[in-house]
Structure 1
Amino acid sequence: MEPLRADVVVAGFGAAGACAALEAAEAGADVLVLDRFQGGGATTISGGVVYAGGGTAQQRDAGVTDSAEAMYAYLRHETGDVVSERTLRAFCEGSTEMIRWLERHGVPFEGSLCPDKTSYPGNRHYLYYSGSEASGAFREVATPAPRGHRAKGRGTSGKALFKPLAAAVRHRATVLPQTRVRRLLQSADGTVTGVLATTLRDAPGWARATHRVLGQWSAKPGIYVPALRKLLNRRVAAIEARFAREVEISARGVILTAGGFIANRDWVREHAPAYRGGLQLGTAGDDGSGIELGRSAGGATAELGRVSAWRFLTPPSAFLGGLLVNARGERVIDESRYGAAVGEELITRHDGRGWLLLDDELVRRARAQRDVQWFQRLQTRYLLRRGRVVGSSIEEVARRAGIDPGGLAKTVAAAADGPDPMGKPADFTHRLGTPPYSLVDVSIRPSLAFPCPMLTLGGLVVDEDSGMVLDGDRRPIPGLYAAGRTAVGICSRSYVSGLSLADCVFSGRRAGAHSGRTLRELDKNENVF
């Protein structure tokens, strides 16, 4: 197979890869995008939510007042010091422009504000509180505002986000699907000069078609059935082993955007052993291969132990009035916190076990809520039927659930007196009253009916001005960039819905723009001499 050549090679065609390719192409670079499958990655199976604020058009349409400073104050408190103050401010101050940029490339958004606090809105609403902004501790930090901008599309909106971006990329760059990067090429001084890949480009049509279908099924519904995904991936690998041919691709810049490593069980076991039994929120491509490519070139890694595990208590919104307790009957967390904060608290301090205490009124309100996604409706039905025990008193329901009755009684008494002990805001609190009482099991365990989605947050360490991969001495590796979940980014310490996709856009654009500008400057200098 003849060698290929491009100015910039993008390895991985999800949101980060698409945004990197667009910016590099707009800077004048000849861009080649590679993907082991057909593109989309974890983006297409996501909720399609982009975290943005500071006064976007959608916020204004919904009558929401927000500022970049309020957004920064919340995220600084939420994400810690995982990125510098300067980078986080740049992200917040460029947030409204980021949404406009996505809209120019065809991504649809809408300022229809969800009236309830929820993990994900129904099909009538596309702007919502997607983090802990309205929770007790965070209200003291900054004025809360809804910043979850969901791409407009029915169901989960990941495809509505990725499809127009992919179309825009194909107008400006070359996309080579079913191509897997195996190795980075480097010169004697360590500069990355291209990639060595295997591709099905010249394979028989039936082999490419079969590979495409198997890859699609592996992503979904395979995400929900690990055994099916494993079987499909073995067949994918068999096709690649038989028909893929090696190709060398020369480039002056390589951008790694191949996702995280949630699909790599060995890595998860090594770096985050407490996070097991969850639903792998990613595709077979989220196997750490992009991170490993960067490490092979001398790249440093960080935050590999950080995993986002989501135990959402809503919808239904009535569940916010309940009390989340552990096996000792003790309160776990402010129930209005974002699902990843709830999941982390359960996993790291309570062995993944938790029960939500409700009274009769909360159960009736939960059953009455209608504006939810189909899978949320099924989960609520499961929790209120098979995941619930009932008792006529606090002591009785505790005994039936296997929880310490005395501890639960003390927790209920503490919540009934004055402000909520966990700081839950008054508009989410509910004084438990009419029996029967229910304890709903929300423990984190393998479950198709009530899964706990998980994704990895760490990756390659990058320069925050350029996106270039840094080595162990914090020096940039010439010609090598990383973005999205292949790199450490804004959400790598703490995640809220939409922050990963927003960081994919932010970091992807940064890497693409810098690589394109750098090549343009090099060409100018060569022309001068």
Structure 2
Amino acid sequence: MWPRQVDMTATDTSTHITAQKSAHTTEILPPKTVTEHSIHWHMTTQVLVAGWGAAGACTALEAKSHGLDVIVADRFMGGGASAKSGGVVYAGGGTAQQADAGVNDSPEAMYEYLRHETCGVISDDTLWDFCRSSRENLRWLESLGVPFAATMPPGGKTSYPADGYYLYYSGNELVPRFAGQHNPAPRGHRTKGRGHGGKVLYHHLQSACLERGVVPMTQSRIRRLLRNPTGRVIGAEIWHLPPGSAAAKKHQRLARWAEKWQNFSPALCDRLRHQLAALELRYSEPVNVRATVGVVLSTGGYIFNRQLVKELAPGYRRNFKIGATGCDGSGLRLGQSVGAQAAHLNRVSAWRFINPPLCWPNGIAVNADGARFCNEEVYGATLGHAICEEQGGKAWLILDAALRRKAIRQALLGGYWWFQSLPALALMTLGAKKADTLTQLAAKTGMNSQQLGDSIRQYNQAIAAETDEPMGKSRACCTPLTAGPYYALDISVSSPVFPLGALTLGGLKVDESSGAVLDEGGGAIAGLYAAGRSAVGIPSNLYISGLSLADCVYSGRRAGRALASAHNHTDEVASTPQTASEQTLSSTEAFSDEAFSDEALVSQLAVTASDNAATTNAKVNQPFAPASHANHVRANQAQANQAQDKTASKQLQTDGETL
């Protein structure tokens, strides 16, 4: 057994950043300045990756392929927002799937289109490199076992294609104002499999990590960075739950519930997250991990950090959160704790998809006054951005009787996902404002009658005259609204039946050739890198489906290559590290469902703040013992994938009241 000798007197040379703490997020402590012998290093590796989602996995795999030892630490079991996503990778330049579908695409065409979307958030050279390497990065994913296919849905465009369709227009490629010299091409490559593809994609990434010897350290939070007297980041203080402990088992169960029920009961899930944080504070044990080449921050965005959202993007506090519990800004805050520069932190992707139903974009979107403000056929995040940033979060979708009947048929018979059809049906049948005339509709919704009338009249006149309509909508999406009764569907942020989701896009500024984190003066912070949504990247202006996962692959592999290059050109700081098999650490031993019944689980988790503080102080010098790991992760993931929660939603809500 190793003695736990955590030096609590080492020099703190930084202060907490603003909006540091939120009730269920990881508290980030100021960095410590340490020397080689001033603290006990429980584990030594060459690369330490914080966050085991897609970006972290790709970083680890790339670094490992160059012969580096890698430990990846994750607050939960890995996966994060990537595993919860649709598994769409934005790829082009002539992929095999595009070729099979008869689509002609090139890196030049992809670059031309993405310049419209990125608007200079990254350099043209970086964007070109992203497009040039896109096809190869997709092939790399396929080499890891990630499956893709070429079948396209009817019309080619949707918010998310149904099972059986895997290639589609996932952005604004078909919108006239985004047209260029090249023909539009579908570049949304949905991972093949039943249901959302994120789970399938991440399964292959995680399996590849384990097969190649990446050492995972799950249920572990990085609470502070460790740096040497020159300012180089040389490791991290990680707090992990004891392997196989009752606390670890409870933590995993609560985390699974919090993710599973987020779409149905966000408030209940927030309460579960408070319990997760309480467990972590009471039972976590500190471990110092040394990284002789570098530390990579890849913990995702900050949408689940209420205080950061309030400070950085207050207009999005009412939005439905898209992501996972680990998206609490811990990577951002860790970077800023050592003087890192951040950018575009106010950039948030707000998702207001109105396709499907396929005919909804043929209506018109108006603001609170009744004025049109956007082309309705644009990608959902483009429309959502206009609603949230330009219209104060308030908007209506106007349909006439014929268009509403057609939309209802499509929602019922179109083979859409439940999360597409059910909200649409509820909005058209239960939540719509209905009136025989536009004047009456304006009165019921509080719109300006003259303005609403002008909006529809100008729209109808342009269609009748076969001229360009005011917002530049393509002819196929134009249908005159002439037959009452008229319907106003509430597509606002506050819509009770049609949530408007959001995820954050900004992050740490990095050297775009390496992923090295930059300080306020623009210089690289030695030993520190960032990837995915912890960093400014390709989707940091406006999001389109698949662009974030594609950037996770691109930026993760970039960081992995940079670490290998740094290793080749820099002497090792530490003595020879232990092998991965000698230093494995886990909180993920296969657990028994009988250990804690669903009915008793929540009520057993009452943990007071005073207990947290007392327990944390008492644990500093307790002994620490490493446990075997990779096999436990495999067993745990297999069991988790097969497990079915025995408690129904009603019972879960009843249990949640005890919180």
Query: TM-score category by the smaller chain?
Result: over 0.9
Show the counterpart of 1:298: 339
Query: Are 2:59 and 1:15 aligned?
Result: no
- Among candidates 388, 394, 407, match of residue 347 of structure 1: 388
SS in 1 for 2:314: coil
Deviation at 1:103, TM superposition (A): 0.7
Question: C-alpha separation between the residues in 2 aligned to 1:83 and 1:115?
Answer: 34
Which deviates more from structure 2 when the two are superposed, residues 117-126 or residues 432-441? 432-441
- Give the Cα–Cα distance (whole angstroms) in 2 for the partners of residues 525 and 470 of structure 1: 21
Question: Which residue of 2 is the match for residue 324 of structure 1?
Answer: 365
Partner of 2:511: 463
Q: State the AA in 2 paired with 1:277.
A: R
Match of 2:458 among 411, 414, 430: 414
1:235 has 2:275 as partner: yes
Q: Provide closer, same or farther for how the CA distance between residues 245 and 525 of structure 1 changes in structure 2, counting only shifts above 3 A.
A: closer
- Higher radius of gyration, 1 or 2: 2
- 1:157 is matched with which residue: 172, 194, 197? 197
Contact kept, 8 Å, 1:223 with 1:282, in 2: the verdict is no
> What amino acid does structure 2 have at the position aligned with 1:209?
K
What SS does structure 2 have at the residue aligned with 1:120? coil
Deviates further, 384-393 or 300-309: 384-393
Tell me if 1:55 matches 2:103.
Answer: no
Identity across the alignment (%): 47
Deviations 1:385-406 (A, max 9, x none): 1221222232233333332221
Letter in 1 for 2:59: A
C-alpha contact (below 8 Å) 2:75/2:221 kept by paired residues: yes
Q: Which residue is 2:171 aligned to?
A: 131
Task: Provide Cα deviations, 1:157-184, integer angstroms capped at 9, x if missing partner.
Answer: 2101111101001112111101110111
Q: Displacement, 1:217?
A: 1.4
Q: In structure 2, what is the equivalent of residue 508 of structure 1?
A: 556
Q: Which moved more, 1:454-463 or 1:112-121?
A: 112-121
**Any conservation in 1 of the 2:368–2:394 contact (CA below 8 Å)?**
yes
Deviation at 1:90, TM superposition (A): 0.4
Given candidates 545, 548, 554, the residue that maps to 1:497 is 545
**Deviates further, 6-15 or 384-393:** 384-393
Of residues 436, 443, 449, the one that matches 1:399 is 443
Cα distance, 1:47 vs structure 2: 1.3
**TM-score normalised over the length of structure 1:** 0.96
Distance 1:245 1:327 in 2: 53
Count, aligned residues: 525
Q: Residues of 1 paired with 2:115 and 2:182: CA distance?
A: 10
Secondary structure (helix, strand or coil) at the match of 1:390 reads strand
Say yes or no: does 1:260 pair with 2:301.
yes
In structure 2, what is the equivalent of residue 441 of structure 1?
490
The one of 219, 241, 251 aligned to 1:178: 219
Measure how far apart 1:155 and its partner are: 2.5
The one-character-per-residue Cα deviations of 1:232-272 (angstroms, maximum 9, x if unpaired) are 11221222223211100011210100111111111111111
Q: For residues 61-111 of structure 1, what are the alpha-carbon distances to aligned partners after superposition, in whole Å with 9 as ceiling and x for unaligned?
A: 111111111111111111111111110000001111111011111111111
**Which residue pairs with 2:583 in the alignment?**
none
The corresponding residue for 2:322 is 281
CA drift of 1:141 comes to 6.2
Is the Cα contact below 8 Å between 1:467 and 1:482 reproduced in 2?
yes
Which one-letter code corresponds to 2:329 in the other structure? G
Distance 1:94 1:157 in 2: 22
Aligned-partner Cα distance in 2 for 1:352–1:525: 52
* CA drift at 1:283: 1.8
Equivalent AA in structure 1 for residue 437 of structure 2: S
Q: Give the distance between the partners of 2:219 and 2:332, measured in 1 at CA.
A: 19
Asked whether the equivalents of residues 279 and 446 of structure 1 are also in contact (C-alpha less than 8 Å), the reply is no
Runs of at least 4 residues off by over 6 Å? none
Shift of 1:383: 1.1
Distance (whole Å) between structure 2 residues aligned to residue 339 and residue 144 of structure 1:
18
Counterpart mapping for 1:421-432 below 5 A = 421-432=470-481
- C-alpha contact 1:28 1:520 (8 A) present in aligned 2: no
Map of 2:248 onto structure 1: 208
Cα displacement (A) at 1:521: 3.8
TM-aligned CA deviation for residue 473 of structure 1: 1.1
User: Is contact 2:381–2:544 with CA below 8 Å preserved after alignment?
Assistant: yes
Partner letter of residue 433 of structure 1?
Answer: T
Q: Distance in 2 between matches of 1:61 and 1:393?
A: 50
Query: Could you say which residue in structure 2 is the equivalent of 1:389?
Result: 433
What secondary structure is seen at the aligned counterpart in 1 of 2:222?
A: strand
Match of 1:311 in 2: 352
Q: Mark the runs of 5 or more structure 2 residues left unpaired by the alignment.
A: 4-41, 575-659
Shift of 1:501: 1.0
Distance 2:194 2:440 in 1: 43
The amino acid of 2:421's aligned partner reads R
Of residues 516-525 and 43-52 in structure 1, the stretch that sits farther from structure 2 once superposed is 516-525
The change in CA–CA distance for 1:446 and 1:322 in structure 2 (over 3 A counts) is closer
Seen in structure 2, the aligned counterparts of structure 1 residues 141 and 385 have a Cα distance that, compared at 3 Å, is farther
The Cα of 1:285 is off from its aligned counterpart by 1.2
